[in-house]
Structure 1
Amino acid sequence: MTEKMQVEAIQQGTVIDHIPAGQGIRILKRLHLEAAGNRITVGLNLPSKDMSLKDLIKVEGRMFTEDEAHQLALFAPEGTINVIDDYEVVNKFAMRLPETLEGVFSCPNSNCISLNEPVKSFFYIQPTATQVKMKCKYCEKSFNKEVVVAS
Structure 2
Amino acid sequence: MRETMAVEAIETGTVIDHIPAGQGLNILARIQKRNAQARLTVGLNLPSKGSGLKDIIKVEGWLFSEQDAAEMALYAPHATVNIIEAYKVVKKFPIGLPAEFTGIFPCPNTNCISHAEPVATRFSVTETPEKVQLRCHFCERSFADSLFKH
Residue by residue over 1:81-116, the C-alpha shift from the partner in whole angstroms, topping out at 9 and shown as x without a partner, is 001111111111011110001000000000000011
- C-alpha separation between the residues in 2 aligned to 1:33 and 1:120? 16
1:30 matched residue in structure 2: 30
2:70 matched residue in structure 1: 70
1:5 matched residue in structure 2: 4
1:81 matched residue in structure 2: 81
The alignment's TM-score, normalised by the length of structure 2, stands at 0.93
Change (3 A) 1:13 1:33: farther
Question: How far has the Cα of 1:3 moved from its partner?
Answer: 5.8
Residue 80 of structure 2 is aligned to residue 110 of structure 1 = no
The answer to whether the Cα contact below 8 Å between 1:28 and 1:34 also exists between their aligned partners in 2 is: no
The residue correspondences of 1:127-146 to structure 2 (distance < 5 A) are 127-146=127-146
The residue correspondences of 1:48-59 to structure 2 (distance < 5 A) are 48-59=48-59
The alignment's TM-score, normalised by the length of structure 1, stands at 0.92
The answer to whether the Cα contact below 8 Å between 2:32 and 2:38 also exists between their aligned partners in 1 is: no
2:124 matched residue in structure 1: 124
- C-alpha separation between the residues in 1 aligned to 2:149 and 2:106? 8
Gapped regions of structure 1 (runs ≥ 5):
none
Change (3 A) 1:31 1:13: same
- C-alpha separation between the residues in 2 aligned to 1:105 and 1:34? 13
The answer to whether the Cα contact below 8 Å between 1:122 and 1:138 also exists between their aligned partners in 2 is: yes
Question: How far has the Cα of 1:37 moved from its partner?
Answer: 2.0
2:43 matched residue in structure 1: 43
The answer to whether the Cα contact below 8 Å between 2:78 and 2:94 also exists between their aligned partners in 1 is: yes
Shifted more, 88-97 versus 15-24: the winner is 88-97
Count of residue pairs the alignment pairs up? 149
Question: How far has the Cα of 1:148 moved from its partner?
Answer: 2.8
Question: How far has the Cα of 1:30 moved from its partner?
Answer: 2.1
1:148 matched residue in structure 2: 148
- C-alpha separation between the residues in 1 aligned to 2:48 and 2:90? 23
The answer to whether the Cα contact below 8 Å between 2:102 and 2:122 also exists between their aligned partners in 1 is: yes
The one-letter code sitting in structure 1 at the alignment partner of 2:11 is: Q
